[in-house]
Structure 1
């Protein structure tokens, strides 16, 4: 957990943790360590800053980062209210260059291009590395292609074009590749296509096109995220076309990402579509359940929390859309646990994910559905599971019922116990823990339970 001052409440600590996950350590120390945050329900964040410049810089550069952290952790879109408290600046190092530019393409126009390699390292997310990328059947080809480019930039798969829906890990792969290439191959420039477009417009307005072109056309690696932003921008497409040609002809590596295949980007010039397909165009797909569970555990571990199999399975089963939502779910679970010093149990998981799940998942299934499906699977009568019988052939299915009821329904331990033969909550808890241990150590049992969960949630194999 990020160290914070003693008078910051747990909600502020959790919000700062969320911010720290999406900026570099240097950026956090410079711009967020001096702050104090106060969360005022339902949606106000009061931010005390050491001076007016600090406020303007956060509003310009990091407002979206703060808002995303609050949205993921507290489930609301915040209103940011700033106040200036000069005492907060007392700990800052004398002469700190607070107005230092952290971005490689916004240095002064007369600097001849600047040291892009040093600057770009400051905007890469330190968490977005190959070591932190969870590989599964949906992304293994993209991962392998990126690693191949890292070994032979400019020669293997140039350009590398990765496409897929939002939140599946395209930015993670691009930045992981940039981390490696920067260490080995000099000037690496990573930015969004929107930033490229804005810098091009600024260069036109300021009469600094030559400096703009020098900067981009002398990079060893150019990585552009969300290149579909070029759609319908004729002058930017023209500029990018010539930038692409210059780098390609010099065997410099070009890496692109988009939410769609090049041929599906609306109003993109055919000559650009053709060039984007010169190297390798590869699709990133949504992760299956097993990969989602691994991602959940990895994200939690990066926040200093070890999630058990049941909690990771619950999050992975109920958050299916993309990796970004999985990360948001993990952050929110950890936030609620830290906020109240609570145990990370099923009640907390349901509370944390309540508004992330579709309405169908929030309303069902019920205890009767669990009983019917388990009885059918094990070939026994529902009345036997609800009886007082203690034979192994009945006790084990009953415990599976308790586990599934706790995981897939909104029922309390008492309600589950009452439905499955009038058991008390301690018996139910014991049964749940028993199945958790079996699932963790027996792959055959895990497959059976996963199938039952899939059937209950409407996604059975």
Structure 2
């Protein structure tokens, strides 16, 4: 029976699969294509030179054993690399890698030599024409753990951040995904982790970048024909922090390149930190393979701070700015501005400014005027508890009944409406909504939202329910 390159390689893969981790197999062996078999030499095509180097460094022994089993002691392995058009060639070309003396399973044959000039690694953060090999972290030193106050709303995320900063790449929180609504401190915490790592490990290369800027750099690299340089630049980072990763939604090219960069960093024990306004399960138009990687580590939610935490944040802000303010005024501001930390601090800054510019004493009346402006100018954040109360009152049932396991139609519909409005009026994740409304999972919430949409367009009575409750919640 004649043997083909594919049949030999399939047998090798069976052996390899049994001897390495499933994720490593998926990342490093599934993309390989068997090309041809000549005598005792098997040619395989790999996606890049980096890929070849990784195989040689980490899997040469297992490759040798598996191939020797198939082709005997004189077995050779020829790597064929699909080179990208980085050096201005009009056509992509193939290169066969020469063997080193480290292993008996590689070919000595070279078809096309590498370009003699090793191009200088392009740093996307360097202005063209200015030589600078140092990679600036792009971190803001003002965002530290010291001024990121701990409360029930952020304890998990903050603790995970401290753990990562103490041992970047060495904890199970890799990647660390911090998610939550606007103004709750995602960017602050991401910077704080980076700043702390730079203090503890000055030799590590830390880089903060927004997903929007990352996308723009990728687009520029494609236009300028140096996509490889872009990838290689990001592969040398020790701690990569990407802010607002949901911005990658629908951008398949950027997602693809980020997927390969992420794999390289993760496999090499480098730390990845991501922020998002949504939990992975709620992200739209993000490839499944990326979402699965986001779930490898820890997803930590930042929630709206409670009253005590809001008071602590304001007092800390006043202390840092060297300003004294009566406790009753601080508590009034904290009690009335609940949406996010940014607005909370904004109100205090406005209060101080009004007082100093107009030479007015800071009083409750002045605080009331400032707070009213903030509350009026921002869409009121409705809590999930409040939504459940409004829906329960509307259908004349108590909250325990709404949250119960009963399948009675009118109770199920009330529960689905509560979930629908929680998704509409709050920044909470589907998982968070489900856990607060009867300890359901995110899939139940998703189903509830779809059911409400369908019934609203087909059932007049149900449509009236939605309109009535919307009015109550919008007051």
Task: Give the alignment's TM-score, normalised by structure 2.
Answer: 0.51
- Residue 180 of structure 2 corresponds to 164
Is the contact between residue 160 and residue 281 of structure 1 (CA under 8 Å) also seen in structure 2?
Answer: yes
Pairing of 1:382-397 with structure 2 (within 5 A): none
The aligned counterpart of 2:189 is 173
Number of the residue aligned with 1:115:
134
Higher helix share: 1
Relative to structure 1, is the Cα distance of residues 113 and 205 closer, same or farther in structure 2, using a 3 angstrom cutoff? farther
Task: Tell me if structure 2 keeps the 8 A contact 1:113–1:215.
Answer: no
SS of structure 2 residue aligned to 1:356: helix
The residue that corresponds to 2:165 in the other structure is: 150
Structure 1 residue matching 2:347: 3-state secondary structure: helix
1:163-312, aligned counterparts within 5 Å?
163-185=179-201, 186-312=204-330
In 2: Cα distance, 1:289 partner to 1:244 partner: 38
Matched, 1:343 2:375: no
Runs of 4+ more than 6 Å apart: 110-113, 359-362
Task: Name the counterpart of 2:421.
Answer: none
Number of residue-to-residue matches in the alignment? 255
Say which structure, 1 or 2, has more relative contact order (CA 8 Å, 6+ apart). 1
**d(CA) in 2 for partners of 1:109, 1:184:** 32
The corresponding residue for 1:124 is 139
1:129: Cα distance to partner?
Answer: 0.3
Residue by residue over 1:105-164, the C-alpha shift from the partner in whole angstroms, topping out at 9 and shown as x without a partner, is 420468798312xx22xx433321001111011111111110011111102111001111
**How well do the aligned residues superpose, as a CA RMSD in angstroms?**
2.2
Distance in 2 between the 1:213 and 1:110 partners?
20
- 1:302 offset after TM fit, Å? 2.2
> CA 1:360 to 1:282, structure 2 compared with 1: closer, same or farther past 3 Å?
closer
Alpha-carbon distance in structure 2 between the residues aligned to 1:184 and 1:340? 45
Q: Which runs of 5+ in 2 are unaligned?
A: 1-122, 381-475
After superposition, what is the alpha-carbon deviation per residue over 1:188-244, rounded to whole angstroms, capped at 9, x for unaligned?
Answer: 000111111111111112223233222211001000111000100000000100110
- Larger CA Rg, structure 1 vs 2: 2
**Residue of structure 2 in register with 1:77 after alignment:** none
Distance 2:167 2:370 in 1: 44
Change (3 A) 1:286 1:306: same
Aligned partners of 2:166 and 2:200 also within 8 Å: no
Write the distance in 2 (CA, Å) between the matches of 1:181 and 1:223.
Answer: 12
Q: Which runs of 5+ in 1 are unaligned?
A: 1-103, 363-461
CA distance in 1, matches of 2:127, 2:378: 54
SS at match of 2:232: helix
Please give the TM-score of this superposition, normalised by the length of structure 1. Answer: 0.53
Q: Aligned-pair distance for 1:359?
A: 9.3
State the 1:184 CA deviation: 2.9
Q: Any conservation in 1 of the 2:178–2:300 contact (CA below 8 Å)? A: yes
**Range with greater deviation from structure 2 (205-214 or 171-180):** 205-214
2:267 and 2:206 map into 1 onto residues whose CA distance is 17
**CA separation of 1:111 and 1:226: change in aligned 2, threshold 3 A:** same
Deviations along 1:281-306, whole A, 9 cap, x unmatched? 11111100110111111122222212
* CA distance 1:247–1:105, shift in 2 (3 Å): same
- 1:138 paired to 2:157: no
Give the Å deviation of 1:358.
4.4
Relative distance call for 1:189 and 1:113 in structure 2 (3 A) is: farther
Please give the per-residue CA displacement for 1:363-416, whole angstroms capped at 9, x wherever unaligned: xxxxxxxxxxxxxxxxxxxxxxxxxxxxxxxxxxxxxxxxxxxxxxxxxxxxxx
